[in-house]
Amino acid sequence: MPGMSHPHLIATDLDGTLLDAEGGLSPLTRRALRLVSEAGAVTS
């Protein structure tokens, strides 16, 4: 959309919403974080 800006920072937490039951990242989450990072956003 014209005039929309993209996020510059993606903040996450590790309480079971980002990490899976084994304490790792799912392939989908890993891909999403990679894509936003490649788009220039900082992830923390």
Number of domains in the chain: 1
Structure confidence at residue 2 (pLDDT): 65
Contact call for residues 36 and 3 (beta carbons, < 8 A): no
Burial of 19 per CB tally in 10 Å (0-12, 13-18, 19+) = middle
In a domain, 22, yes or no: yes
pLDDT at residue 31, as a whole number: 94
Domain that holds residue 17: 9-43
14 part of a folded domain: yes
Is residue 1 domain-resident? no
pLDDT at 4: 67
Distance CA(42)–CA(11), nearest Å, equals 8
Which residues of the chain are modeled with pLDDT < 50? none
Q: What is the Cα–Cα distance from 17 to 4, expressed in whole angstroms?
A: 27
Nearest to 31 by CA among 9, 39, 23: 39
